[in-house]
Structure 1
Amino acid sequence: MSNATRTTTAGSPPPGPGLGKRADRSRLAALGRLLVRRRVLVLVAVLLAVAAAVPIGGGVSDRLSGGGFTDPAAESSKAAKLLADRFGSGAPNLVLLARTSGSVDDPRAATAGRDLSRRLAQEPGVLSVTSYWTTPHELASPLRARDGRSALVLLRLGGDEDRVRDIAKELVPRFTGRQGVLSLSATGTAQVYVEVEKQSDQDLVRAEAYAAPVMLLILLFVFGSAVAAVLPLLIGVCSILGTFVVLRVLSELTSVSVYAINITTALGLGLAIDYSLFIVTRYREERARGLDTAEAVAQSVRTAGRTVLFSALTVALSLSALLVFPLYFLRSFAYAGVAVVALSAIAALVVLPAVLGLLGPRIDALDVRRLFRRGPQPGADHDTLAGPADGTATGGFWHRLATAVMRRPVLCAAGVITLLVLLGLPFTRISFGLVDDRVLPISAPAHRTAQSVQEEFSSRETSALSVVLPTVSGSADRDRIAAYAARLSTLPDVARVDTVTGSYAAGRQVVAASAASFAAGDASWLSVVPSVEPDSSAGVKLAERVRADSAPGPVLVGGDGAELADTRDALAARLPEAALIIGATTVVLLFLFTGSVLVPFKAVLLNLLSLTATFGAMVYVFQEGHLRSLVGDFTVTGSVDISIPVLMFCVAFGLSMDYEVFLLSRIKEVYIETGDNPRAVAAGLERTGRLVSAAAVLVAVVMLALATSGITFLKLLGVGLALAVLLDATLVRGVLVPAVMRLAGRANWWAPPPLRRLHRKLGLLSA
């Protein structure tokens, strides 16, 4: 009995016919032939579309927003909105540090400070101004530095995040620097977002300058000719510009984060490289088999193009899971990611075949490998990454590696799994935080000013919790408010509580009622000044204790600690839904791709395992500060921004599945022809090993360019994604996949009869 017959009786899909007549009926092959025939028309249309996209998408960053890190429907967000709408107040989002050569109590300094406060209060968009010089004496000491040479001016700017950013952009240049006897600098949430946005734009230019020459050299080496090396850049330009247009349109409908620009550029270039490499390599193989240009393009689109289609779908679905989260920072990465993936696939399946049809054999023009050849290479084709045309190579490194692994699959799999788990252990120590001034470079003005405030002032006035009582403020309720404030002041980690009836510390009133606006109509609020870092675990516990305390009426608690608690809960509540989207869609797509029940679940589990080292590095390097010299300087905060692990998971999972689909497509091709599982695994790895490794190196270069950012969370994203891609393309694809598929044997391709019938009807192996 033949291998093919044995496979069929075991319940696996039978070996299919060859690549002849079946290919002729393929819709993708027909598309490839059509694109070759209409290549000039297609390329003219693409050039016109690109020309139209430049003015529309070119200025997209000016339309995007710098925030989006919190849940707008959370209690803390509602508290902030009510404070602004009802009281014209709230936690300060712009902080001015005023320095003087003498004492801030000198008459000239005091006069200048009061004048500054008056002028700021008259500026459009400024809801409230609190300064050392305008605050009652008994409450003013926290706004005065320990050495008496500097003081704080706290501003609350009104409007949404975009409006607050625009006001800060206009105010800060006019009110910083030398102001009479005072010298002022700015920090606070509004100014941090302004400087982060500016830094992001600068980083994008620097990343492109860093990556371009390195990437061009590697592209020349990988593609072999200067003409072929330009093709990924062409695909990347089309997909990135198209995505900018999409983001420009979306910015008119909803808030879109400015950081989506960074992921658009990185993913656009990375996927353009992957997809171009897959299709060009296959095109060269088909040419080496003797096919003419039109048929070589057709077969390349049928095979590699089908893989690109599936890969793009899996990556896009992984990124689409970000849409379930309420933070528009995360949703924006879904908008940009899905758009750039879709456009990269369309460009690879439409633009690239038309260009190949136009170039024909001239794709190998300006062959740089000739510079390194000592003499004629008879019989050598131009594809240094592709093995023999029949896919049954036996002497290559990747074939030998697969064979060696499959001889000892348990030992190899156990070794790699143990290594990845050990690398991932630091993630068990993760601590979450929110974006603040410390994501900026140490030299950034907002960062320097914030550090000065923290070092020179004894109180945390700028990070107080806001406790809003929407229906309690009448004179009959003041006794209850006073009792509530006194009780809150006794909670652990509370320094002071200010409200309409006065200020309280350690359970007793320390300052009488002031003129500060803590009441409006039937509402009032309390300011709870913490003695701990507001966005630390202690700050979160404080917010939870305040919420758990018995209030004299309905209460809304806002502030940094409350925001962190709310963001944590919002992400945790939607994680199962996101995981279900990623897991279920991946399993379904891979079943349609392979006809197997086991292979999709194996792919998901191995992808999860491959991410453990990435998440371990996230904590070991960026939270704890180890190996900083390898990734560039940044401020170690002892925490990781709470939204980054979610973002990292979705993006890295999609990129890992990109290589999984490509490897499975080659293994499945050989298995259909031979029915021999070990031979198919070894041949598939040989046919893709060098290709996937080259693609992974190129994608890693693009991601490491993102890691040159001065913004810590973008640096983390770049390092993490580069590490994930490299580990996935080497340890996982080179060792774990062949080991697990060898252990599974023919069960890799098993499916129960109903699902086999479903796959024959709906399967997309030969689109």
Structure 2
Amino acid sequence: MFVSWGSVVHRRRWLVAVAIVLFTVVGGAWGAGVFGALSQGGYEDPSSEAARATATAKEALGRQGGDLVVIYTAPDGGTIDDPALGEKITAKLRALPKDKVDSALSYWDTRAPQFADADKQRGLAVITMRSGDENERISQYPELRDQLQVDGVRTQIAGFVPMAAAINETTQSDLIKAEIVSVPLTLVLLVVIFGGLVAASLPVAVGGLAILGSLGVLRIIASFTEVSTFAVNVASLLGLGLAIDYGLFMVGRFREEIAAGRSTPDAVRRTVGTAGRTVAFSATLLIIALAGLMLFPQGFLKSVAYGGMSAVGIAALVSLTLLPALLGMLGKRVDSLGLPWRKKAKSAEDEGRGWRRLAGGVMKRPVTVAVPIVAGLLLLGAPFLGASFGAVTEKVLPASDATRQATETLNSQFPGLANDGAQLVLKGRDGKAPDQQALGQFIAAVDNVPGVSAVQPTGAAKDVVTLTAKLPGDSMSDAAKEAVKAIRAVQPPAGTDLLVGGMTAQVTDSLDAIIEQLPLMAVVVVGATLLLMFLAFGSLLLPIKAVVMSALSLSATFGVLVWVFQDGHLADWIGVTPGPLEAGIVVLMAAVVFGLSTDYEVFLMSRMVEARAKGASTEEAVSTGIAKTGRVISAAAILLIVVTGAFAFSNVAMMRFVGVGMILALALDATIVRMLLVPAVMKLLGNAAWWAPGPLKRFQQRVGLQESEDLPEGTSERERSPQPVG
């Protein structure tokens, strides 16, 4: 199929090129509108008890306030009780646009003691916005932010909407900066790798078009479901990085075919039939890994899955259409504008000698190499056993961010309001709320829960009564989480149902949902990977080995991330505030790292299987595979580190977590795991590495997913498919 497709693309190269360029450019121009429809939420389980508590209270009492919490600080020497200051602030609040603001409750209206700090230096105003749409409130916030400023008074604004807006603005700015830096740097690296400007520019061009195409797909998806701002960042950088990697493999193979003296049509056909087949297979594996995120109920993870799958799919599509079309147009001119050292370049055989010697050295002492590496990876992964999980808070923003500083002021100076506490919702089953006596008994029972205090009613309508309860310590502490569990165990009044919500309950429920679905995701992703790898390699042990290698790389990466981002080692050096990990980000990283690890395994093992199919021994097949792919895999890892590693310089801790994780995972996987551990394990497995039961092997050979290097003109598809040797 791929051989035939290569021939079609070459014959229709101008039509294919024009169609793909128009598709991606027009799609990208239209897709740019997705930035106005992005969401900052989606971290909670919409079917959880906490979500149902919020929905029930909203349905009965309307949307509760607290979109913005404005902190006004009196000038030096004054207090918030100064009448002139109060008049200025009150006038500002009353002048807020009624079409955007539903209510503004302040200290100067109520004189409520909880709205002032102990020294009367700071007073609060709680703003409830009118719109019921989260994205609309976030988009309206910049206008309100300017209108809330009072001359001569320090104004700080906290709350969910300001934090969401700050994260949105920062991530968009970081993405632009990352692409401005990573794309030129990637081009320079490709020029060094290829030794020529024309060859180097092709993967970058494919990467740019892949970004545009993925934006168009995301715009379509956003019209049907929620798309997180984080999904766009992941899609853009993952699409660019993988498109460049795929381009590197395709262009490298094409140049290899041209250097062997083949005609341009034959070189294009062979490139698509070999490297193109592997690109398609690798992209499929990565899409399956990302599709595992759709099993979770959180909208954030679903939208990241949509974005990542779109980016990988578009990157593969452009690599298998536009790129071979461009190669067909260029032919031998692909080496045009070569750099001076290009003329002194070694032959492909000479370039692979160092890698071949490395593989040979490893296979002479496989146990000596494998045991320390496995032990080291397990040791690196050990800190993950102590991982704790929390919510997205103001700490994901840099310490200098105004919204984070406002939230920290609120937490330190107004602790009674800062603790989100627990929201208790009692709903009558017969359409009636519980009577006062039963309600009083319930409040007393909740108040007796260890660590819980200040239990009080906050609203009532029809058959619904809402209460709040202060939880012990920080809202993400173990004590607060245990208190939520204890409150849920309290018997509600007869004829009523109890729902417990609030930030602590949301995080607990979300984590429980992830833990519940995680085994299913592992079974689906690992099962699909094992099946597809068997169809490609014709062996039972090679797919299992690949999964184990990916798991070792993944565990080591997460262990280091916990050591840094949670335990705080080197946290000051990389500019993050230590704290619990966001479970959704961890699951996202697991899917991406597992997929990329498997991706490199496919490129390496395909060459080994190819050599084995031609009669090579296990040692010869391993040496050949390392020799032919070592340089390419290393270069691909470096390029992907440059592109996705740009996350590491983001001002948002979540993105920095992903960036550092990608650098660690790619560096470990492309060096220690693929170039050292894989040949050692293959030597230990020996001929058993290639074994499969006869019926299964015959079935695999009929499917013919393996890549072929020997593709003479005029042969049948069955003849083109190499037959693995048992």
Range class of TM-score, shorter chain: over 0.9
Q: What is the Cα deviation at residue 623 of structure 1?
A: 1.4
Residues 327-351 of structure 1: CA deviation (Å, up to 9, x unaligned): 1111111111111111111111111
Q: Who is 2:613 aligned against?
A: 672
Query: Could you tell me how far apart the structure 2 residues matched to 1:461 and 1:687 are?
Result: 59
What secondary structure is seen at the aligned counterpart in 1 of 2:392? Answer: coil
Q: Who is 1:62 aligned against?
A: 36
Query: Could you tell me how far apart the structure 2 residues matched to 1:168 and 1:543 are?
Result: 32
What is the aligned counterpart of 1:162 among 135, 145, 152? Answer: 135
What secondary structure is seen at the aligned counterpart in 1 of 2:416? Answer: coil
What is the aligned counterpart of 1:496 among 442, 447, 454? Answer: 454
Query: Could you tell me how far apart the structure 2 residues matched to 1:446 and 1:95 are?
Result: 11
Q: What is the Cα deviation at residue 522 of structure 1?
A: 2.1
Q: Which moved more, 1:736-745 or 1:85-94?
A: 85-94
5 Å-filtered alignment, 1:215-294, equals: 215-294=186-265
Query: Could you tell me how far apart the structure 2 residues matched to 1:464 and 1:732 are?
Result: 46
What secondary structure is seen at the aligned counterpart in 2 of 1:674? Answer: coil
5 Å-filtered alignment, 1:130-145, equals: 130-135=105-110, 140-145=112-117
Q: Who is 2:438 aligned against?
A: 480
Q: Who is 2:713 aligned against?
A: none
CA distance change for structure 1 residues 124 and 536 in 2, over 3 Å: closer, same or farther?
A: farther
Query: Could you tell me how far apart the structure 2 residues matched to 1:542 and 1:624 are?
Result: 25
- 1:174 aligned to 2:150? no
Q: Who is 1:48 aligned against?
A: 22
The answer on whether the counterparts of 1:89 and 1:128 sit within 8 Å (CA) in structure 2 is no
CA distance change for structure 1 residues 275 and 458 in 2, over 3 Å: closer, same or farther?
A: closer
Q: What is the Cα deviation at residue 218 of structure 1?
A: 0.9
Amino acid at match of 2:363: M
- 1:750 aligned to 2:691? yes
Query: Could you tell me how far apart the structure 2 residues matched to 1:420 and 1:380 are?
Result: 35
Two-structure CA RMSD over aligned residues (Å): 2.2
- If the length of structure 1 is used for normalisation, what is the TM-score? 0.88
What secondary structure is seen at the aligned counterpart in 2 of 1:556? Answer: strand
CA distance change for structure 1 residues 55 and 212 in 2, over 3 Å: closer, same or farther?
A: closer
Q: What is the Cα deviation at residue 134 of structure 1?
A: 4.2
Q: Who is 1:36 aligned against?
A: 10
Query: Could you tell me how far apart the structure 2 residues matched to 1:387 and 1:630 are?
Result: 43
Q: Who is 2:570 aligned against?
A: 627
- 1:312 aligned to 2:283? yes
What secondary structure is seen at the aligned counterpart in 2 of 1:59? Answer: helix
What is the aligned counterpart of 1:106 among 51, 62, 82? Answer: 82
What secondary structure is seen at the aligned counterpart in 2 of 1:555? Answer: strand
What secondary structure is seen at the aligned counterpart in 1 of 2:126? Answer: strand
Query: Could you tell me how far apart the structure 1 residues matched to 2:232 and 2:415 are?
Result: 39
CA distance change for structure 1 residues 669 and 596 in 2, over 3 Å: closer, same or farther?
A: same
What secondary structure is seen at the aligned counterpart in 2 of 1:751? Answer: coil
Q: Who is 2:124 aligned against?
A: 152
Query: Could you tell me how far apart the structure 1 residues matched to 2:599 and 2:365 are?
Result: 27
The answer on whether the counterparts of 2:138 and 2:162 sit within 8 Å (CA) in structure 1 is yes
- 1:298 aligned to 2:282? no
What secondary structure is seen at the aligned counterpart in 2 of 1:527? Answer: strand
Q: Who is 2:533 aligned against?
A: 590
Q: Who is 1:387 aligned against?
A: 349
Query: Could you tell me how far apart the structure 2 residues matched to 1:490 and 1:117 are?
Result: 40
Q: Which moved more, 1:271-280 or 1:461-470?
A: 461-470
Q: Who is 2:474 aligned against?
A: 533
Matched residues, percent identical?
A: 38
The answer on whether the counterparts of 1:282 and 1:304 sit within 8 Å (CA) in structure 2 is yes
What secondary structure is seen at the aligned counterpart in 1 of 2:66? Answer: coil
CA distance change for structure 1 residues 562 and 126 in 2, over 3 Å: closer, same or farther?
A: farther
Amino acid at match of 1:172: R
What is the aligned counterpart of 2:657 among 705, 708, 716? Answer: 716
The answer on whether the counterparts of 1:434 and 1:564 sit within 8 Å (CA) in structure 2 is yes
The answer on whether the counterparts of 1:467 and 1:526 sit within 8 Å (CA) in structure 2 is yes
What secondary structure is seen at the aligned counterpart in 1 of 2:132? Answer: coil
- 1:581 aligned to 2:553? no
Q: Who is 2:98 aligned against?
A: 123
Amino acid at match of 1:66: Q
Amino acid at match of 1:634: V
Q: Who is 2:711 aligned against?
A: none
Q: What is the Cα deviation at residue 587 of structure 1?
A: 0.3
Q: Who is 1:571 aligned against?
A: 514
Q: What is the Cα deviation at residue 113 of structure 1?
A: 5.5
The answer on whether the counterparts of 2:29 and 2:212 sit within 8 Å (CA) in structure 1 is no
Q: What is the Cα deviation at residue 537 of structure 1?
A: 2.3
What is the aligned counterpart of 1:726 among 657, 663, 667? Answer: 667
What secondary structure is seen at the aligned counterpart in 1 of 2:577? Answer: coil
The answer on whether the counterparts of 2:25 and 2:212 sit within 8 Å (CA) in structure 1 is no
Q: What is the Cα deviation at residue 675 of structure 1?
A: 3.8
What is the aligned counterpart of 2:360 among 378, 394, 403? Answer: 403
Q: Who is 1:521 aligned against?
A: 462
Query: Could you tell me how far apart the structure 2 residues matched to 1:129 and 1:492 are?
Result: 35
Q: Who is 2:425 aligned against?
A: 468
Q: What is the Cα deviation at residue 156 of structure 1?
A: 4.2
CA distance change for structure 1 residues 764 and 46 in 2, over 3 Å: closer, same or farther?
A: same
Query: Could you tell me how far apart the structure 2 residues matched to 1:50 and 1:521 are?
Result: 54
CA distance change for structure 1 residues 482 and 156 in 2, over 3 Å: closer, same or farther?
A: farther
The answer on whether the counterparts of 1:112 and 1:182 sit within 8 Å (CA) in structure 2 is no
Q: Which moved more, 1:49-58 or 1:404-413?
A: 49-58
Q: What is the Cα deviation at residue 753 of structure 1?
A: 1.8
Q: Who is 1:191 aligned against?
A: 162
Q: Who is 1:200 aligned against?
A: 171
| Structure 1: unaligned runs, 5 residues or longer | 1-26, 500-516
- 1:72 aligned to 2:46? yes
Query: Could you tell me how far apart the structure 2 residues matched to 1:43 and 1:660 are?
Result: 30
Query: Could you tell me how far apart the structure 1 residues matched to 2:154 and 2:360 are?
Result: 71
The answer on whether the counterparts of 2:550 and 2:598 sit within 8 Å (CA) in structure 1 is yes
Query: Could you tell me how far apart the structure 2 residues matched to 1:349 and 1:461 are?
Result: 54
What is the aligned counterpart of 1:333 among 304, 312, 319? Answer: 304
Q: What is the Cα deviation at residue 115 of structure 1?
A: 5.4
What secondary structure is seen at the aligned counterpart in 1 of 2:466? Answer: strand
Q: Who is 1:84 aligned against?
A: 58
The answer on whether the counterparts of 1:188 and 1:437 sit within 8 Å (CA) in structure 2 is no
Query: Could you tell me how far apart the structure 1 residues matched to 2:472 and 2:91 are?
Result: 31
Residues 346-404 of structure 1: CA deviation (Å, up to 9, x unaligned): 11111111101111111111112x1x47xx64x945xxxx436xxxx8x7222112111
- 1:344 aligned to 2:310? no
The answer on whether the counterparts of 2:238 and 2:311 sit within 8 Å (CA) in structure 1 is yes
What is the aligned counterpart of 2:551 among 604, 608, 614? Answer: 608
CA distance change for structure 1 residues 404 and 109 in 2, over 3 Å: closer, same or farther?
A: same
Query: Could you tell me how far apart the structure 1 residues matched to 2:101 and 2:490 are?
Result: 33
Query: Could you tell me how far apart the structure 2 residues matched to 1:119 and 1:603 are?
Result: 64
Amino acid at match of 1:333: V
Query: Could you tell me how far apart the structure 1 residues matched to 2:454 and 2:311 are?
Result: 50
Q: Who is 2:184 aligned against?
A: 213
CA distance change for structure 1 residues 570 and 156 in 2, over 3 Å: closer, same or farther?
A: farther
Query: Could you tell me how far apart the structure 2 residues matched to 1:156 and 1:569 are?
Result: 31
Query: Could you tell me how far apart the structure 2 residues matched to 1:475 and 1:524 are?
Result: 7
The answer on whether the counterparts of 1:142 and 1:458 sit within 8 Å (CA) in structure 2 is no
Q: Who is 1:21 aligned against?
A: none
Query: Could you tell me how far apart the structure 1 residues matched to 2:537 and 2:569 are?
Result: 42
Residues 465-495 of structure 1: CA deviation (Å, up to 9, x unaligned): 1101122997971122222223323333334
Amino acid at match of 1:282: R
The answer on whether the counterparts of 2:541 and 2:690 sit within 8 Å (CA) in structure 1 is yes
Query: Could you tell me how far apart the structure 1 residues matched to 2:102 and 2:442 are?
Result: 27
The answer on whether the counterparts of 1:257 and 1:332 sit within 8 Å (CA) in structure 2 is yes
